[in-house]
Chains A and B, each alone.
Chain A
């Protein structure tokens, strides 16, 4: 998937995460994370963001994530929605094996 614009999903409410994704010249996924639970879960949150993007075929992106204690499934949902918005794709792929 090709990142065409800035895509954002999520809110700053408790249990949510606001994810902003945009293209980058760097050949990697760069994650700028702010989280109240960063010391304990920062590495895992970054891993979930990165893995979700790679499954969508995105290997280079700049990600800004403001976490308010989101579960992994919420992080995946927000990253996916932000990425599709950034790629200007409205026809989501859900896979037939739960991806």
Chain B
């Protein structure tokens, strides 16, 4: 998910060329208080006029408590991004309060209720502790994300290269997302000149089970995609598993084995997930060709 400042027309119009799966136009922290109205107009016009193709479009609004969130929603719901991202979510009510406003605007604007999906960013200790309630709070919620900069400030610590201080939050958010059946997105890696550090962090969060990572610079997209793209070995193994399942089904065999090892349900689920990732990243198509 590529973060794009909402008051920068050059970055907004070019955002689709860098290959991210998702583009998040920011009306919150990257826009100064005096430019909120201008950024709102810019993102509204971009979303209603520019073609971002198959990229997921996300807009991070200001919180309702800030007094700016409702004005953001009035514009952005009508601009019809795929997802509206709530910042600094601490309670399930933050999501449901926002959902009520979205539904009101959808009805007023003649947009089918439920069209606008939501994502909640968790950026504080109380938010992390309430991650499960937040994750289950709305059918519109497609994912929850960790916002680490505010979170570590709230914890009275700093971000370390190893990310030790984020382990609890990452685990809570990941478990909440998995329990609710929604996506878990990791925080940004702020040091854009440290590719080694980015790769180490992306490798860690991929292994933990996260679905993706936020990026603040287009340069960070390719290394992360490389980490999340299944290897040829993994893909071939997954294809063999699926073929063994198909063969067993043809024979009516109850017990399925591959190279002498039993294949059970979790192995099949993982194989399906690997093949899904391979398909969306384009490598499976390349291998088939």
Contact = CB atoms under 8 A, between A and B. Distances in A.
Interface string B58-86: 00000000000001001100100000000
Interface string B31-44: 00000011011101
A14 B46 contact: no
B115 interface: no
Given A96-B110, A98-B48, A77 B78 contact: no
A30 interface: no
B38 A10 contact: yes
Interface stretch (B8-16, B22-30, B116-124, B128-136): B8-16
B78 A94 contact: yes
A90 interface: yes
B109 interface: yes
B211 interface: no
Nearest to B74: A94
A91 B37 CA distance: 10
B45 interface: yes
Interface in A1-60: 9-10, 13-16
B49 A9 contact: no
B108 interface: yes
Given A96-B109, A96-B110, A77 B10 contact: no
Q: Main SS of the interface on chain B?
A: helix
A95 B75 CA distance: 9
Given A92-B71, A92-B74, A96-B78, A13 B10 contact: yes
A45 B46 CA distance: 17
A14 B13 CA distance: 11
A92 B78 contact: no
B8 A13 contact: yes
B50 interface: yes
Nearest to B109: A96
Given A71-B13, A85-B37, A98-B48, A77 B42 contact: yes
Interface in A66-81: 70-74, 76-78, 80-81
A74 B8 contact: no
A10 B74 CA distance: 21
B98 to A, nearest CB: 18
A19 to B, nearest CB: 10
A69 B50 CA distance: 16
A74 B37 contact: no
23 contacts: A9-B38, A10-B38, A14-B10, A15-B10, A16-B9, A71-B9, A72-B49, A73-B49, A74-B13, A76-B45, A77-B44, A77-B46, A78-B42, A81-B38, A81-B42, A90-B37, A90-B71, A91-B71, A95-B78, A96-B110, A97-B110, A98-B48, A98-B78
Interface of B: 8-10, 13, 37-38, 40-42, 44-46, 48-50, 71, 74-75, 78, 108-110
Interface of A: 9-10, 13-16, 70-74, 76-78, 80-81, 84-85, 90-92, 94-98
Given A78-B38, A96-B109, 11 more contacts: A74-B9, A74-B45, A76-B41, A77-B41, A77-B45, A78-B42, A81-B41, A84-B37, A94-B44, A94-B78, A96-B108
